[in-house]
Amino acid sequence: MKRLVFLSMLLLSPAFAQDVFKPLFNGKDLTGWDGNPELWKVENGEIVGTTTGPEQLAYNQFLIWRGGKVKNFELKAKIKQAGNNTGIQYRSKELPENGKWSIGGYQCDIHPAHPNNAMVYEEKGRGIIVQNGQGVVIDPEGRRWLASEHDPVKVDIAEWHEYTVIAQGNHLIHKIDGQVTIDLLDFELAKRSLEG
């Protein structure tokens, strides 16, 4: 059984007051969110997603925040997970042709393998773009250039950790507990996303 738990989710965007994070989850119910009720619920002030395994779903389904599109932002979420992997989708678009609650776009993976934890994976797109411990530049033709390397940030995903996604224009940064996992500059105009 795969179980994902969100304690809190906060968003900072230039559209909001200076340096004030806006809570995306009220701690009580899924008001403002849309997802398969067989998979998502609130327990003890936490968003909980549970599946029995890959055979349960014919396609990936996500819990979707219905608060509107955002462009430049900083998102913080406290997460723990038991099971294989999941992720935080952002700057994504819905793909109803695949099924309800299907989306594609950038994803900050929550994954038990350290190189894949807090990497950038593009769901229904370019796949793995940059792994934990890397800085990558994607040029206009889609070629990937390794700009920097550092030791991957290593954590046990079964424990609570704060995942951060910073999106400013074509510059994406992911962090775990304040430590940078990836740094991406995406210049591929035809495939990148600047809002969602």
Confidence of residue 1 (pLDDT cuts 50, 70, 90): very low
pLDDT in tens, 30-53: 999 999 999 999 999 999 988 887
Confidence of residue 12 (pLDDT cuts 50, 70, 90): low
Q: What is the pTM of this model?
A: 0.91
Of 62-66, 83-87, 102-106, least confident by mean pLDDT is: 83-87
The contacts of residue 147 (CB under 8 Å, 6+ apart) are: 135, 136, 137, 183, 185
